[in-house]
Amino acid sequence: MAHDSVELYLSEVGRHLKAFDGDAAGRLLSLSYTDQLGTLWDQSGQTSHPGCDAACSSVPGLKPVLEAVLRRGKYSQQRQWEDAFQQQMDAFDAFTKFFRQQDQGQWCVGLLRALSRDLRILALRADEETELEVGGGDDDDEAGGSKQKPTQQAGSKLLQAYPICNNDRSAKEDGSRKWGTLPLLNQILKLCFAIDQVQLVRGCIQPIEQGYEITMEEWCKADRVTYKFYSARIHILDEKFKLAEECLSYALRHCHKASTDNVQKIMVFLVPLRLMLGKAPPSEALLLRHGLHEVFWKLIQALGSGDVQQAVQAVRLNEAFLMEQSIYLLAVKLRGLAYRNLFRKVWLIRGRSSQLHIDDLVTGLRCTGKEADAEEVECIVQSLISAGMMRGKVIEHRHLVVLQMKVAGQPADPFPPVGQL
């Protein structure tokens, strides 16, 4: 930490607050900066440091925020996450009360960014601490009711703060609180994905997507990249893969190249999406550079050759990683693409006939090392037809697939190009 005493720390916070520099003040109030405050200030039962009055002399409404942040420092330094979270809740409550009263609240966005981010982080840590204490069971209060988890409490607070930004009627040129909408929304998105409650945030996204007063390019680059990444993940859940690919491509183009972890996170989703859409796969060198070669390279090769067995093995070997990254279902869909590519090769070998015998498809599968009987292959073909990867109809009693060779009276490939699926 850059300060030798709490007094010096408070003096610098006060200097930035007097200058209405919310970004600089927010950095000083952030969890990463204040972890050592607990060792610098022997609270001895005090709930406030005398220097808080002077630091907040120009903005008295922020004094409770600063006091709670100082108390938080003691608990976070000792890794008492539940207590630190409660202090952060107090800080966030006091800040939103102050923020709501600011007609020109744009200068506060840096404070909002820091306080909302730390509320999310501490909520997740407090959740983990609670689960360890109760052995993973339900944490019920004395009245027998279900007690809200810290992440649920934090989610409620963040959602309650959203209208303070979004509903401000001041023009963006006049320092509107609307400038806090996207930074706050990003923290809500991160928390909702972490606790698997994405449905809570869908209503907050609509204003941004429907012609917001502040255009996407006016937000800072970091906020744009974060938003595009998480909105892509929502599009994936909705199976809007083209929109998801567009958002992730935008995020990758604008992500700082030195942020290698973030680039990798984007590529984890972008690679399977591009494969699904029939776009050129990344090179082996690119996958190696970002630590994704082991996950995707064999799968890419399998899709290109129609080697179903290798595709199945590639997904199975990396199942833990794929599930951890929430892309397992995407990978499973890519297995279907391997079946589609293989069956199309069989169709080409058979002279592009309007009929395919199930036995020929069974033979094709066996050539890749995948054992399957006629009944299983009929089910696979039916699922490909349902997914739009094949056009036709299974005639079960004849063990035959009748392919649809025309669409709207015009000749058509019964295996639609992947990019059109």
Q: pLDDT digit string (tens) for 333-378?
A: 898 899 999 999 999 999 999 999 999 999 999 998 889 999 999 9
Cut 0.95: pTM above it: no
Residue 38 has a pLDDT of 58
Helix (H, G, I), strand (E, B) or coil at 225: helix
Count of residues in the chain: 421
Helix (H, G, I), strand (E, B) or coil at 421: coil
Residue 275 has a pLDDT of 92
Kindly state the percentage of the chain with pLDDT values over 90: 76
Instruction: Please give the average per-residue pLDDT across 247-259, as a whole number.
Output: 96
For residues 401 and 395, give the distance between their C-alpha atoms in angstroms, rounded to a whole number. 6
Lowest mean pLDDT among 32-46, 222-236, 405-419: 32-46
283 has a pLDDT exceeding 70: yes
- Helix 293-305 vs helix 260-276: crossing angle, to nearest 10: 10
Lowest mean pLDDT among 87-91, 143-147, 284-288, 315-319: 143-147
Helix (H) or strand (E) holding 403: strand 400-403
Residues 6+ apart with CB under 8 A from 62: 17, 56, 94, 95, 98, 111
Contact assessment for residue 194 and residue 124, using Cβ atoms and an 8 Å cutoff: yes
Band of the pLDDT at 144, cuts 50, 70, 90? very low
Instruction: Please give the average per-residue pLDDT across 265-281, as a whole number.
Output: 93
Residue 278 has a pLDDT of 87
Contact assessment for residue 102 and residue 174, using Cβ atoms and an 8 Å cutoff: no
- CATH fit for domain 292-420, picks 3.40.140.10, 1.10.10.10, 2.30.30.100, 3.50.7.10: 1.10.10.10
Helix (H, G, I), strand (E, B) or coil at 211: coil
Instruction: Please give the average per-residue pLDDT across 390-399, as a whole number.
Output: 94
For residues 234 and 362, give the distance between their C-alpha atoms in angstroms, rounded to a whole number. 37
Band of the pLDDT at 296, cuts 50, 70, 90? very high
Domain boundaries, given as residue ranges, for the chain = 6-136+148-170+180-191, 292-420
- C-alpha dist (Å) from residue 29 to 10, 113, 117, 151: 10, 10, 11, 21
Band of the pLDDT at 47, cuts 50, 70, 90? low
Residue 22 has a pLDDT of 96
Shortest CA distance to 248 belongs to which of 238, 329, 265, 321?
265
109 has a pLDDT exceeding 50: yes
Residue 3 has a pLDDT of 64
For residues 268 and 182, give the distance between their C-alpha atoms in angstroms, rounded to a whole number. 24
Shortest CA distance to 242 belongs to which of 271, 266, 273, 264?
273
